[in-house]
């Protein structure tokens, strides 16, 4: 029998607010000593009460708007009750019945086709602490670090409308792109500021029913692994179903060394979280004006930016999609266009896509980590235009700019790649003609393919500093003489 995967994604995004969700502790805990970013509130000490972070709420609402959700004017927090040692209060403050945002969608391209997946909800909650297992005085112990406790999270839940790992990956990447455009999260999967939990099950192809079981995948820290884990599950579950059995309801982790999922926790019955309205936080009644203001202050989102690039810069959809993948890259492009007097967006786009983006992808580094400013690229292009350097040298210089952060002038001097002047080039051309009289004769006799050889000789003499076009022009001119 043929099976169709039914996949829904639960994605947690950690917001990059300065302070935590319900207290004034710093939320920038990454790399900090354990339990240094804590207070009575996020430690869940007796008597401590939460006070909601307004910036975090606005961030969650903006995300809702960007996902085309309905922003609820009436919203509230609920308590989700469960026991786990890293959960300070024995309950998590979350949103159950009235989240900030409901019913939206994410639209994205997968293999050239546009896909639209519905978003069930986007709600806020607080993060938990973290357990560490260690050995202290020869005893195996579990330690709790509450630095992460109370860091604001938004959970985005999709409808189970995804039927392939490609679409799952595309959905998650688009969400990451949107959140980064909004500036509300780093969405760094390795650091855990974006966590993807796919729910995967299979049904007979052609069926529209939801399968009777569901496998939740956790602890996946890259898009590639999301895809691999889903693929692995599809194969694993197919084998079970083909034996006439039903896969167990469970949570499975991803083992990136063995490249397989493994059972973490059986879910014999649905967890009863005993949700009830959080009595420590009064419910919210947002005004229409408040929501209107949020909407008015939304930054340009990826789709809008892409459309504008196509319109304003007359570039291909493909180029614009690449340029707008990352908000920083898009800004780099636009700033370079502004800084370069001739404009020439297509040329700049080629440079950015062909040189910069390629290198960024190769080194897996974000643009923001480079000490590269748009003015440097503009300057480099100008120098090329003025014949100060050749295009080939310019590409080398650009590569050095990316790695060193130095500007074009500095690097040109440092590496001695100034293009030679036309006068000097004329001398070289004459010399090459003199030294290769046989070849020149062949050329004159109609053997045009030897022209390249002569150009090669010129470049050899100039250590590649000759502008190829000028050299060719001169060569033709001198031979004719």
Partner 1 sequence: MIDLTQLTIKEAGEQLKAKQVKATELTEAYLDRAQKFNKKLNAFITITEDIAKEQARKVDELIADNQQLSPLAGIPIGLKDNYLTNGIKTTAASKVLEDYIPVYDATAVTRLKDANVVFVGKTNHDAWAHGGSGENSDFGNTLNPYDVTRVPGGSSSGSAAALAADMCMAATGTDTGGSIRLPASFCNLVGLKPTYGRVSRYGIVAMASSLDSIGHLTKTVYDSALILNATAGHDEMDSTTSTEAVIDYTQDIERGVRGIKIGIPKEYFEGLDAKIKKVIMDAVKKLESLGAEIVDVSLPHTEYGVATYYIIQPSEVSSNLARYDGIRYGSGREAFGSEAKRRIILGTFTLSSGYYDAYYLKAMKVRRLIREDFTKTFEKVDCIIAPVSPTLPFKFGEKANDPLQMYLADIYTVNMNLAGVPSLAIPAGFIDGLPVGMQIIGPDFTEKQLYQIGFAHEQEAQLYKERPKI
- Residue 148 lies near partner 1 (rule: CB under 8 A): no
Nearer of residues 54 and 243 to partner 1, judged by Cβ: 54
Residue 246 CB, nearest approach to partner 1 (Å)? 24
What's the CA gap between 215 and 241, in Å, rounded? 14
- Residue 476 lies near partner 1 (rule: CB under 8 A): no
The sign of the torsion formed by the CA atoms of 246, 248, 254, 255 equals: negative
Q: Which of 91, 225, 309, 333 binds partner 1 (CB under 8 A)?
A: 91
Nearer of residues 249 and 375 to partner 1, judged by Cβ: 249
- Residue 276 lies near partner 1 (rule: CB under 8 A): yes
Q: Which of 73, 90, 317, 441 binds partner 1 (CB under 8 A)?
A: 90
As a 3-state breakdown, the chain gives helix, strand, coil percent values, each rounded to 5, of: 40, 20, 35
The two structure tokens encoding residue 178: 């949107």
Nearer of residues 83 and 262 to partner 1, judged by Cβ: 83
- Residue 89 lies near partner 1 (rule: CB under 8 A): yes
Yes or no: say if 21 and 216 are a contact pair by the CB < 8 Å rule.
no
Neighbours of 391 (CB within 10 A): 12
- Residue owning tokens 């302070």: 19
Nearer of residues 45 and 476 to partner 1, judged by Cβ: 45
- Residue 48 lies near partner 1 (rule: CB under 8 A): yes
Between the alpha carbon of residue 151 and those of residues 25, 35, 51, 178, 357, the distances in Å are 9, 13, 13, 20, 33
Instruction: Please list every residue from 164 through 203 that binds partner 1, using CB under 8 A.
Output: none
DSSP states of 341-410: TT--HHHHHHHIIIIIIHHHHHHT--GGGS---HHHHHHHHHHHHTTSS-HHHHHHHHHHHHHH---HHH
Torsion of Cα atoms, 290 then 292 then 296 then 300, to 10°: 100
Give the three-state DSSP class for 150: coil
Kindly indicate which of the ranges 198-206, 279-287, 356-364, 427-435 contains the residues binding partner 1, using the contact rule CB under 8 A.
279-287
- Residue 83 lies near partner 1 (rule: CB under 8 A): yes
Nearer of residues 85 and 405 to partner 1, judged by Cβ: 85
Beta bridge partners, 215, equal 200, 250
Between the alpha carbon of residue 223 and those of residues 63, 68, 247, the distances in Å are 20, 24, 24
Instruction: Please list every residue from 327 through 366 that binds partner 1, using CB under 8 A.
Output: none
Instruction: Please list every residue from 7 through 46 that binds partner 1, using CB under 8 A.
Output: 40, 44-46
- Residue 81 lies near partner 1 (rule: CB under 8 A): yes
Residue 284 CB, nearest approach to partner 1 (Å)? 11
Instruction: Please list every residue from 286 through 305 that binds partner 1, using CB under 8 A.
Output: none
Kindly indicate which of the ranges 78-86, 166-174, 247-255, 448-456 contains the residues binding partner 1, using the contact rule CB under 8 A.
78-86
Nearer of residues 17 and 176 to partner 1, judged by Cβ: 17
Measuring CA to CA, which residue among 166, 227, 236, 225 is closest to residue 201? 236
- Residue 285 lies near partner 1 (rule: CB under 8 A): no
Spacing of C-alpha 432 from chain mean position? 52
Spacing of C-alpha 397 from chain mean position? 27
Q: Which of 18, 36, 73, 85 binds partner 1 (CB under 8 A)?
A: 85
Residue 279 CB, nearest approach to partner 1 (Å)? 4
Neighbours of 67 (CB within 10 A): 24
Nearer of residues 76 and 465 to partner 1, judged by Cβ: 76
- Residue 205 lies near partner 1 (rule: CB under 8 A): no
Nearer of residues 60 and 88 to partner 1, judged by Cβ: 88
Q: Which of 272, 289, 423, 437 binds partner 1 (CB under 8 A)?
A: 272
| DSSP 8-state code for residue 299 | P
What's the CA gap between 379 and 340, in Å, rounded? 7
Nearer of residues 79 and 465 to partner 1, judged by Cβ: 79
Nearer of residues 23 and 65 to partner 1, judged by Cβ: 23
The two structure tokens encoding residue 231: 């693929």
Beta bridge partners, 261, equal 254
Residue 121 CB, nearest approach to partner 1 (Å)? 18
- Residue owning tokens 């190829």: 468
Spacing of C-alpha 274 from chain mean position? 36
Nearer of residues 47 and 112 to partner 1, judged by Cβ: 47
The sign of the torsion formed by the CA atoms of 75, 189, 321, 369 equals: positive
Q: Which of 55, 281, 301, 331 binds partner 1 (CB under 8 A)?
A: 281
Task: Compute φ and ψ for 301, nearest 5 degrees.
Answer: -95, 165
Kindly indicate which of the ranges 27-35, 162-170, 267-275, 450-458 contains the residues binding partner 1, using the contact rule CB under 8 A.
267-275
- Residue 49 lies near partner 1 (rule: CB under 8 A): yes
- Residue 52 lies near partner 1 (rule: CB under 8 A): yes
- Residue 136 lies near partner 1 (rule: CB under 8 A): no
Q: Which residues bind partner 1 (CB under 8 A)?
A: 40, 44-52, 79, 81, 83, 85, 88-91, 144, 270, 272, 274-276, 279-282
């Amino acid at each position: 029998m043929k099976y169709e995967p039914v996949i829904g994604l639960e994605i947690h995004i950690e917001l990059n607010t300065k302070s935590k969700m319900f207290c004034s502790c710093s939320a920038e805990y990454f790399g900090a000593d354990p339990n240094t970013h804590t207070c009575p509130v996020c430690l869940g000490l007796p008597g401590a009460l939460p006070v909601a972070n307004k910036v975090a709420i606005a961030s969650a609402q903006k995300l809702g708007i960007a996902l085309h959700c309905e922003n609820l004017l009436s919203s509230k927090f609920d308590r989700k009750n469960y026991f786990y040692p890293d959960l300070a209060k024995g309950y998590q403050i979350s949103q159950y019945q009235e989240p900030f945002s409901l019913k939206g969608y994410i639209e994205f391209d997968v293999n050239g086709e546009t896909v639209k997946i519905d978003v069930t909800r986007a709600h806020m909650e607080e993060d938990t602490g973290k357990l560490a297992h260690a050995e202290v005085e020869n005893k195996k112990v579990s330690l709790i670090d509450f630095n992460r406790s109370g860091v604001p999270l938004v959970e985005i839940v999709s409808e189970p409308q995804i039927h392939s790992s490609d679409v799952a990956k595309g959905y998650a990447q688009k969400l990451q792109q949107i959140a980064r455009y909004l500036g509300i999260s780093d969405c760094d999967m390795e650091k855990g500021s974006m966590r993807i939990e796919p729910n995967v099950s299979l049904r007979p192809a052609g069926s529209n029913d939801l399968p009777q079981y569901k496998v939740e995948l956790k602890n996946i820290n890259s898009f590639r692994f999301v895809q691999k884990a889903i693929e692995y599950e599809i194969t694993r579950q197919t084998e079970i179903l083909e034996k006439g059995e039903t896969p167990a309801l469970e949570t499975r982790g991803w083992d990136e060394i063995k490249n397989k999922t493994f059972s973490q926790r059986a879910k014999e019955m649905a967890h009863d979280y005993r949700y009830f309205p959080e009595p420590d936080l009064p419910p919210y009644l947002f005004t229409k004006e408040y929501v209107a203001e949020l909407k008015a202050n939304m930054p340009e989102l990826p789709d809008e930016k892409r459309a504008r690039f196509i319109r304003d810069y007359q570039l291909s959809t493909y180029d614009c999609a690449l340029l707008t993948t990352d908000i920083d890259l898009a800004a780099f492009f636009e700033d370079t266009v502004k800084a370069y007097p001739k404009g020439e967006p297509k040329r700049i786009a080629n440079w950015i896509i062909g040189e910069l983006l390629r290198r960024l992808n190769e080194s897996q580094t974000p643009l923001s980590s480079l000490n590269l400013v748009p003015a440097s690229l503009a300057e480099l292009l100008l120098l090329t235009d003025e014949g100060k350097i050749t295009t080939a040298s310019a590409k080398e210089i650009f590569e050095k700019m990316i790695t060193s952060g130095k500007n074009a002038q500095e690097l040109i001097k440092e590496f001695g790649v100034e293009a030679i002047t036309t006068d000097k080039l004329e001398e070289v051309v004459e010399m090459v003609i003199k030294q290769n009289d046989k070849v020149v004769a062949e050329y004159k006799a109609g053997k045009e393919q030897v022209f390249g050889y002569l150009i090669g000789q010129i470049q050899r003499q100039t250590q590649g500093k000759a502008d190829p076009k000028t050299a060719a022009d001169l060569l033709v001119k001198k031979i004719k003489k």
